[in-house]
């Protein structure tokens, strides 16, 4: 997969006493941050912190919170070998690779999001699935991490979510719905035969909003609520209001362990051959 900055820097420890190096994954949104540090050899989770904001922040305010996190949590600076950044925002669009043209990259976003003249637009390529995610990353935040670590990898969360789900899919005709829940918004991915039938983002204020969009999509795609499986990921757990209303209207509701975990986070493997974890906040 081609995406973001391709190079990865490795920090060497000049101390004669060997210290295991760590990898840092950071998920960035206007509503919160997640930091995950994992040992590169044992894959042990060294540190995890999920920070929710009171409302929606500006990119400048998010950067301030990142700097504050570095001051508050010294482990974020200890023995970091490499880093990946996940950008979670609604400034993105999925484009079939067959029609994608890099020179026209801004054209793919202008119909569903407001793009400013000075916005930096980039893309992730899912070669196996013939799709491209076009998006606007948080440039000021990328610049901050570049100053600290040098070159690093960054992606849009939709890229990683789609890749992970499709990698686990089996070849079958059954339509499946996958819903990744964030604060006040959620992404819907409908798959069939290891291919994407629909991907979209919705905002919600109440559980009724949440189930309305799910049932609307099901109706448009002729998905029978008594038959199709609904997989829920992210900020949702069994017994909460979103889960309860989904289970009321959909017969087959699942919370897959592949992405959900007791700590409220999950590790996602990097798309290319290197095994570097990425993070979705839960």
Q: Domain ranges for the chain, please list them.
A: 170-254
The CATH code for residues 170-254 is 3.30.420.260
Which of 18-27, 129-138, 211-220, 269-278 reaches the highest mean pLDDT? 211-220
Which whole-number Å values give the CA distances from 50 to 27, 85, 108, 262, 280, in the listed order? 9, 14, 32, 13, 10
Comparing 161 with 20, which gets the higher pLDDT?
Answer: 161
Structure tokens at 160: 């990683």
Strands 80-87 and 32-39: unpaired
What is residue 275's predicted lDDT score, i.e. its pLDDT? 29
SS3 32: strand
DSSP 56: P
What is residue 39's predicted lDDT score, i.e. its pLDDT? 87
How far is residue 62's CA from residue 87's CA, in Å, rounded to a whole number? Answer: 12
pLDDT average, residue stretch 13-38? 78
> Does residue 144 surpass a pLDDT of 80?
yes
What is residue 19's predicted lDDT score, i.e. its pLDDT? 59
- The structure tokens 């004669």 sit at 16
Structure tokens at 111: 């119909």
What tens digit of pLDDT does each residue of 63-110 get?
A: 999 999 999 999 998 888 889 999 999 899 999 999 999 999 989 998
């Amino acid at each position: 997969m081609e995406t973001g900055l391709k190079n990865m820097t490795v920090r060497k420890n000049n101390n004669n006493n060997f210290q295991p190096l760590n990898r840092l994954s950071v998920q960035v949104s206007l509503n919160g941050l997640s930091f995950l540090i994992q040992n590169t050899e044992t894959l042990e989770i060294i540190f995890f912190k999920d920070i929710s904001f009171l409302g929606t922040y500006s990119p400048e305010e998010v950067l301030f919170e990142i700097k504050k996190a570095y001051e508050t949590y010294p482990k974020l600076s200890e023995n970091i070998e490499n880093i990946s950044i996940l950008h979670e925002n609604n400034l993105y669009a999925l484009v079939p690779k067959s029609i994608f043209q890099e020179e026209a990259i801004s054209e793919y976003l202008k119909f569903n999001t407001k793009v400013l003249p000075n916005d930096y637009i980039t893309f992730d390529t899912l070669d196996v699935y013939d799709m491209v995610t076009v998006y606007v990353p948080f440039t000021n935040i990328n610049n901050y991490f570049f100053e600290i670590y040098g070159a690093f990898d960054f992606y849009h969360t939709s890229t990683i979510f789609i890749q992970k789900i499709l990698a686990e899919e089996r070849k079958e005709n059954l339509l499946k719905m996958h819903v990744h829940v964030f604060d006040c918004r959620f992404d819907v991915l409908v798959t069939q035969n290891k291919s994407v039938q629909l991907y979209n983002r919705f905002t919600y204020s109440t559980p009724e909003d949440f189930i309305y969009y799910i049932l609307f999509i099901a109706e448009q795609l002729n998905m029978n609520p008594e038959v199709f499986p609904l997989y829920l990921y992210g900020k949702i757990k069994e017994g909460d209001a979103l889960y309860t209303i989904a289970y009321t209207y959909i017969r087959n509701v699942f919370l897959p362990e592949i992405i959900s975990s007791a700590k409220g986070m999950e590790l996602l493997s990097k798309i290319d051959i290197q095994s570097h974890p990425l993070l979705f906040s839960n």
